[in-house]
Chain A
Amino acid sequence: MFDFKVVADWLNELLNGLMPSWLATSIECVIVAVFLLAAYSLIAMAYIMYERWVCAWIQCRIGPRRVGPWGLLQVFADVLKILQKELITLWSTDKFLHKLAPYLVLIASMLTFACLPWGKGMQFIDFNIGVFFIIAVSSIGVLGILLAGWSSNSKYTLIGAMRSGAQMVSYELSCGLAVLTVVCLAGTMNVTELVEAQADGWFLFKGHVPAFIAFIIYIIAANAENNRGPFDLPEAEHELTAGYHTEYSGIHFGFFYLAEYLNLFIVSGIAALLFLGGWMPLHVPGLEGFNAVMDYIPSTLWFLGKAFFMTFIFMWIRWSFPRVRIDQMLALEWRYLMPIGLFNLVLMAVVVAFGWHF
């Protein structure tokens, strides 16, 4: 399998040979940032189209088909439109916080985005507390949402933001517990090592019952973390018109919109990383020929494929279930998911301690 590290190292040596190391590092930073931004926006746009098509398919509709071939240019039209919409400034609001909020949400998702394992040796940030870092920075997003709701000076946005706060803080717990369960199994928090550990089998299959339970908990909690149906209470269209971003227009709203889809990709990516082997190809022990064929598929494709598959599951849930109520949502977390998650963690520790996993 092709290791992207070769390219990165070659570029690093080339630049260092040509110029002083501080300049080389700066140039590398710029190159990485450009790649990051490009990947970020492209994936977000791809996801918007993906969502629209999947949702249309589930609802017996056709979906965007008219703008460009197969409707592919639809999202570019949307972006162009939203870029040039008027940005409305509200009086009697905290203007600085009002403008800061969408950027906070965007930054949170971008930081998390940078930690994902894109392929063999292809990672923007790779360090020993990778998973921990992901969980930490992804929580900045809730700050942005709270600020957005608070600074808009509207009752609807405020309710949306408060709901969001309660929801994110609660579900962060079970999300973290599910992640911890896998970390317990792998014995590392380093993203690369996590993926490497799944070379002979994905954690979902390796980890026995507790890994499976953790997977289910993760799917539910990630849905809630992401404010997606059935947990889309903060922006519950039919209750709060547009929830916390009711008062945002133009590209500021666009940032929320983009971040929402990016977050969807991120939670799918993390699910792929933790449970489905990251960029690791599917290997079935004993079938050498099959494994060799699987190895020929580039690692990035594996990762993207798994993420898109997970996203499909999230979308399926989103478009099938009605929305829960706030008390039901909190009851689900604190009465069921959290205790089960804690118990599951202990179970996993036992499994690991006795070496019962595969």
Chain B
Amino acid sequence: MAELKDKISALCPQAQFDTEGEFLLVTVDDAQWHALAKALKEQLHFDFLTAVVGVDWKESLGCVYYITNTESQEIIHVKVATTDRENPRLHSVSDVWDVANYQEREVYDFYGIVFINHPDMRRFFLRNDWVGHPLRKDYDESEELNPLRLDDEMNEDYTCKWVEDENGEVKKVEGKVFEDDEYVINVGPQHPSTHGVMRYRVSLDGEMVKKVDVVSGYIHRGIEKLCEGLAYPSTLLYPERMDYMSAHMNRHCLCLCIEKAMGIEVPYRAELIRLMMDELMRLSSHLLSYGCLTMDQGATTAFFYGFRERELIYDIFDKTCGGRMSMSYNTIGGVVADVHEDFIKDVRHACDTIEKNLKEYHKLFTGNVIAVGRMKGVGILTKEQAASYAISGPSARAAGLSCDLRKKQPYSLYNEFDFDEVVREEGDSMARYMVRMDEMVESIKILRQACDKLEACEGNEYCAKVPKLIKLPAGHWYQQVEASRGAFGVYIESDGDPKPFQKPYRMHFQAPCFNLVGIVDLTCRDNMIADLITITASIDYVIPDIDR
């Protein structure tokens, strides 16, 4: 860490450092930030902007940028703030990391921080006639300001951009989203293959897609704001309802983060059960994505086959956790109950069945000439683009970006297991599909090993002794896990409030799907409208995870 500190201070002498926490914290002024960002990426290879967290520190507003070096897996975080609460302005880094484009729009939406030189400073989640910025501590929540409006929301046809000239004066410049003579169709918000309520405004030339404008927020439920009003144990239910296909992983992540902050040691057996649940969830999720991908291409039968096996996994969840989809199984310090007596038997059975049936899936769909024709070479994402757009999970690994956190930054017990990271080079829809299919085989491998280990520690405790009132010291923490669709991160900032029911000062969820939606325009351009469906299905995002 000290070495890194020296390197960065050489780049930016004004920066202040804090080496206390888990990652190196760099605090810079807005004036130096853009130059530092550029240098960090180009000279120190910090090419992966993991998360942008907007925070309201009451006296100042600002952002915390978590940046990863994809080669050495080092993480630093940079704090940039402004004290101007009336007209908060920061410099955009969207030209350095592409992912910052949407991330900064999110921060603008929540905090009203305007990013100078950002190409498209529109709201991202909330209606464009929304009053106020909800995550600011001084937000007025009254119904009169933002009532339930049932009139149709008007399209935003203009982008706005704040440009800084040589004298340091900032001016607003408007641009057009679509030209007047473009043939624009709406895909969504209610469309069978957006997998939820996503809306794309697609400009077409015949059947060719010329541009995709993402309009998100149709299922924005304000989870981060809700978390700020609840005690820590109550916040656990929300990550499950974001990406419901990675319910266990997301909840696992939040638990890990709180445990890290409190310094709780989780029993071995508890961590093992969590890990098994994670892998079962991954299987279930990949089976669903197989089903949806095939159905979106019209092969309905394959969809039903995918769902057949998911029922086996649901049964396991049902027996142990008492629920099929939102399990609420992980808790701070372990899991809520020990596994069902049939658990190991069922898991082994499910593993055997799925392994056998995967061959059938390949026979039914993978080799099909139409499927190959529709997926091969379509929607190509390069490794550099994947890093720049901060794509993680199967979609990034299909592009050759090795980013499996289970291998790269092992958490839980993953370093005890023998499995391979599936990486492909092509970066097209086919590769994304195949990565998922191969990952299922790896998950089965992990599950089989875990079954043996779990048998060995039968009867051990499944939950640590945790204080009745969960209190975190002042500070901030960031934890990532590998969810089904990529790296899921949780940022918690605590003010160390001594009150009995302590509430998080700021809780941010870095959802993998949020970054995935950023590449829709990139990959779909100059492809056909039918490819838009295939590509979005192969990217496999879950909408509530994007919108939160």
Do any CB atoms of chain A lie under 8 A from CB atoms of chain B in the complex? Answer: yes
Q: Which of B290-298, B477-485, B511-519 contacts A (4 or more CB under 8 A)?
A: B290-298
Sample of 4 more A-B contacts, CB < 8 Å, known A159-B207, A237-B192: A156-B185, A232-B298, A324-B370, A325-B528
Q: Which of B301, B364, B365, B529 is in CB contact (< 8 Å) with A159? A: B529
B530 at the interface (CB under 8 A from A): yes
Whether A238 lies near B533 (C-beta < 8 A) is yes
Whether A322 lies near B528 (C-beta < 8 A) is no
Whether B300 lies near A319 (C-beta < 8 A) is yes
Whether A239 lies near B529 (C-beta < 8 A) is yes
Whether B304 lies near A61 (C-beta < 8 A) is yes
Whether A155 lies near B304 (C-beta < 8 A) is no
Instruction: Kindly provide the distance from the CB of B372 to the nearest chain A CB, expressed in whole angstroms.
Output: 10
Q: Which 6 A-B pairs rank lowest in CB-CB distance, beginning with the nearest?
A: A323-B298, A322-B297, A238-B193, A322-B299, A59-B304, A155-B185
**CB-nearest residue of chain A to B193:** A238
Known: A319-B300, A320-B299, A322-B297. A241 touches B192 (CB 8 A): yes
A58 at the interface (CB under 8 A from B): yes
A326 at the interface (CB under 8 A from B): yes
Whether B192 lies near A327 (C-beta < 8 A) is no
Whether B305 lies near A238 (C-beta < 8 A) is no
**Cβ of B186: which chain A residues have Cβ within 8 Å of it?**
155
**CB-nearest residue of chain A to B191:** A241
A328 at the interface (CB under 8 A from B): yes
Identify 9 residue pairs between A and B in the complex whose beta-carbon atoms are under 8 Å apart, listed by A's number.
A156-B185, A159-B529, A238-B192, A238-B295, A239-B529, A319-B300, A323-B299, A323-B370, A328-B374
Once bound together, how far apart are the Cα atoms of A229 and B302, in whole Å?
A: 14
Whether B528 lies near A326 (C-beta < 8 A) is yes
Whether A238 lies near B528 (C-beta < 8 A) is no
Which interface residue of A156, A237, A241, A321 has the most chain B CB atoms within 10 A? A321
Instruction: Kindly provide the distance from the CB of A337 to the nearest chain B CB, expressed in whole angstroms.
Output: 15
Whether A59 lies near B192 (C-beta < 8 A) is no
**Cβ of A328: which chain B residues have Cβ within 8 Å of it?**
370, 373-374
Known: A238-B193, A239-B193. A322 touches B365 (CB 8 A): yes
Instruction: Kindly provide the distance from the CB of B523 to the nearest chain A CB, expressed in whole angstroms.
Output: 16
A80 at the interface (CB under 8 A from B): no
Once bound together, how far apart are the Cα atoms of A345 and B299, in whole Å?
A: 33
**Cβ of B460: which chain A residues have Cβ within 8 Å of it?**
none
Query: What are the interface flags for A134-158 relative to B under an 8 Å C-beta threshold, 1 for contact and 0 otherwise?
Result: 0000000000000000000001100
A236 at the interface (CB under 8 A from B): yes
Instruction: Kindly provide the distance from the CB of A332 to the nearest chain B CB, expressed in whole angstroms.
Output: 10
Whether B364 lies near A326 (C-beta < 8 A) is no
Once bound together, how far apart are the Cα atoms of A250 and B518, in whole Å?
A: 40
Q: Which of A230, A237, A238, A319 is in CB contact (< 8 Å) with B301? A: A319
Once bound together, how far apart are the Cα atoms of A237 and B295, in whole Å?
A: 10
B279 at the interface (CB under 8 A from A): no
B353 at the interface (CB under 8 A from A): no
**Cβ of B296: which chain A residues have Cβ within 8 Å of it?**
238
Whether B298 lies near A321 (C-beta < 8 A) is yes
**Within B206-245, which residues are at the interface with A (CB < 8 Å)?**
207
Whether B304 lies near A322 (C-beta < 8 A) is no
**CB-nearest residue of chain B to A59:** B304
**Within B369-420, which residues are at the interface with A (CB < 8 Å)?**
370-371, 373-374
Whether A321 lies near B193 (C-beta < 8 A) is no
A60 at the interface (CB under 8 A from B): yes
Once bound together, how far apart are the Cα atoms of A232 and B298, in whole Å?
A: 9
Q: Which of A58, A230, A327 is in CB contact (< 8 Å) with B298? A: A230
B109 at the interface (CB under 8 A from A): no
**Cβ of A230: which chain B residues have Cβ within 8 Å of it?**
298, 370
B183 at the interface (CB under 8 A from A): yes
Whether A325 lies near B531 (C-beta < 8 A) is yes
Query: What are the interface flags for A214-253 relative to B under an 8 Å C-beta threshold, 1 for contact and 0 otherwise?
Result: 0000000000000001101100111101000000000000
Which interface residue of B308, B364, B530 has the most chain A CB atoms within 10 A? B530
Once bound together, how far apart are the Cα atoms of A239 and B200, in whole Å?
A: 12
B368 at the interface (CB under 8 A from A): yes
Whether B298 lies near A229 (C-beta < 8 A) is yes
Once bound together, how far apart are the Cα atoms of A233 and B374, in whole Å?
A: 14
**Within B518-544, which residues are at the interface with A (CB < 8 Å)?**
528-531, 533
**Within A297-354, which residues are at the interface with B (CB < 8 Å)?**
319-328
Instruction: Kindly provide the distance from the CB of A228 to the nearest chain B CB, expressed in whole angstroms.
Output: 11
**Within B296-349, which residues are at the interface with A (CB < 8 Å)?**
296-301, 304-305, 308
**CB-nearest residue of chain B to A232:** B298
Whether A322 lies near B183 (C-beta < 8 A) is no
Known: A58-B301, A59-B300, A238-B298. A322 touches B529 (CB 8 A): no
**Within A44-79, which residues are at the interface with B (CB < 8 Å)?**
55, 58-61
Which interface residue of A61, A319, A325 has the most chain B CB atoms within 10 A? A325
Q: Which of A59, A229, A239, A319 is in CB contact (< 8 Å) with B530? A: A239
Instruction: Kindly provide the distance from the CB of B543 to the nearest chain A CB, expressed in whole angstroms.
Output: 16
**Cβ of A58: which chain B residues have Cβ within 8 Å of it?**
301
**Cβ of A323: which chain B residues have Cβ within 8 Å of it?**
297-299, 370, 530
Once bound together, how far apart are the Cα atoms of A58 and B533, in whole Å?
A: 25
**CB-nearest residue of chain B to A156:** B185
Which interface residue of A61, A323, A328 has the most chain B CB atoms within 10 A? A323
Q: Which of B294, B298, B300 is in CB contact (< 8 Å) with A236? A: B298
**Cβ of A159: which chain B residues have Cβ within 8 Å of it?**
185, 207, 529
**CB-nearest residue of chain A to B531:** A325
Which interface residue of A156, A239, A322, A325 has the most chain B CB atoms within 10 A? A322
**Cβ of A155: which chain B residues have Cβ within 8 Å of it?**
183, 185-186
**Cβ of B185: which chain A residues have Cβ within 8 Å of it?**
155-156, 159
Whether B207 lies near A322 (C-beta < 8 A) is no
Instruction: Kindly provide the distance from the CB of A235 to the nearest chain B CB, expressed in whole angstroms.
Output: 11
Q: Which of A59, A322, A325, A327 is in CB contact (< 8 Å) with B368? A: A322
**Within A33-48, which residues are at the interface with B (CB < 8 Å)?**
none
**CB-nearest residue of chain A to B207:** A326
**CB-nearest residue of chain B to A61:** B304
**Cβ of B529: which chain A residues have Cβ within 8 Å of it?**
159, 239
**CB-nearest residue of chain A to B371:** A322
Instruction: Kindly provide the distance from the CB of B434 to the nearest chain A CB, expressed in whole angstroms.
Output: 16
Whether B299 lies near A321 (C-beta < 8 A) is yes
**Cβ of A60: which chain B residues have Cβ within 8 Å of it?**
304-305, 308
**Cβ of B533: which chain A residues have Cβ within 8 Å of it?**
238-239
**Within B135-192, which residues are at the interface with A (CB < 8 Å)?**
183, 185-186, 191-192
Instruction: Kindly provide the distance from the CB of B431 to the nearest chain A CB, expressed in whole angstroms.
Output: 17
**Cβ of B301: which chain A residues have Cβ within 8 Å of it?**
58-59, 319-320
**Cβ of B531: which chain A residues have Cβ within 8 Å of it?**
325
Instruction: Kindly provide the distance from the CB of A111 to the nearest chain B CB, expressed in whole angstroms.
Output: 30
Instruction: Kindly provide the distance from the CB of A234 to the nearest chain B CB, expressed in whole angstroms.
Output: 12
Once bound together, how far apart are the Cα atoms of A319 and B533, in whole Å?
A: 19
Known: A155-B185, A156-B185. A322 touches B191 (CB 8 A): no
**Cβ of B295: which chain A residues have Cβ within 8 Å of it?**
238
**CB-nearest residue of chain B to A229:** B298
Whether B373 lies near A325 (C-beta < 8 A) is yes
Whether A320 lies near B364 (C-beta < 8 A) is yes
Once bound together, how far apart are the Cα atoms of A60 and B191, in whole Å?
A: 27
